[in-house]
Amino acid sequence: MDVKPQPPAVKVDDPPKKVPDAPNFAKDEPISLLPNLLTDEEKKAGWKLLFDGATTDGWHTFGSATIDKRWVIKDNNLSFDPSIKLESPSKYGADIVSDKEYSNFELSLDWKISEGGNSGICIYVKEDFPKYTSMWQTGPEIQVLDDAKHPDGKIAKHNAGDLYDLIAHNNPKAIKGPNEWNHVMIKCVNGLLTVKVNGFTTVQTQLWNDTWKNMVAASKFAAYKDFGIYKKGRIGLQDHGDKVWYRNIKIKEL
């Protein structure tokens, strides 16, 4: 009887085979074999889930005590579904934010955008409603976008992986297309912000210093005096009217 060769062992940075359409993870980023779970190593390292795959516990709509019904859970994903029609939708949109605020942290998650879609991940969001009616008035945004089909894909500093309207990356290999999972790691320690998408660094900058203030002053956020000034705030996921999916949302306080 012929002996069939054994398949090669799975390397640490291979996509987990139990997760369909899984992204490639960088070696220094946390890996779970199933979505929305923590490994023993992650637990020991201090990682916490921000999404358990079954509930929206830990999240609420910006400026509200509840969560907009267009944010739904299906197939272990947290998604915004614009096809769901509400009788009285909020005029301020359906951005959601974490219940907890964070200062120094490492945030890890996967995102997938629909064709032609737009969304975003905000950090250091200050929720002081109605002084601020939208999370982007205070929280810098890491862009989530279908670069090929959305008009913003043709605008510098508006591409997926960019720090929206502030810093552009120049690595076209970093971003996967629509309906594919992208893995992002966002780390900020004492204002030093690093963003990696699929293992590629797309943003590295220092927040809150004079260079940062000048950058903001030259952007579309110049009119918002409290934009990017807070050193503790919520994590936000943006409703931009398009279908978007998130999973494996986990955070470690540093």
Name the token pair of 174.
């970093």
Name the token pair of 17.
């085979």
Residue 231 lies in a domain: yes
Residue 230 lies in a domain: yes
Residue 16 lies in a domain: no
Q: Is 225 exposed, middle or buried (0-12, 13-18, 19+ CB in 10 A)?
A: exposed
Query: What is the dihedral angle through the alpha carbons of 203, 214, 227, 198, rounded to the nearest 10 degrees?
Result: 0
- The count of structural domains within the chain is 1
Residue 207 lies in a domain: yes
Match 């409703």 to its residue by tokens: 239
Is residue 222 over pLDDT 80? yes
Answer yes or no: are the C-beta atoms of 143 and 161 closer than 8 Å. Answer: yes
Residue 142 lies in a domain: yes
* pLDDT number for residue 123: 99
pLDDT tens-digit readout, 169-221: 989 899 999 999 999 999 999 999 999 999 999 999 999 999 999 999 999 99
Answer yes or no: are the C-beta atoms of 138 and 226 closer than 8 Å. Answer: yes
Give the other-Cβ count within 10 Å of 212's Cβ.
18
CATH number for the domain that contains residue 226: 2.60.120.560
Residue 60 lies in a domain: yes
* pTM confidence score: 0.86
Residue 212 lies in a domain: yes
Residue 73 belongs to domain spanning:
42-253
Residue 149 lies in a domain: yes
pLDDT tens-digit readout, 116-133: 999 999 999 999 999 999
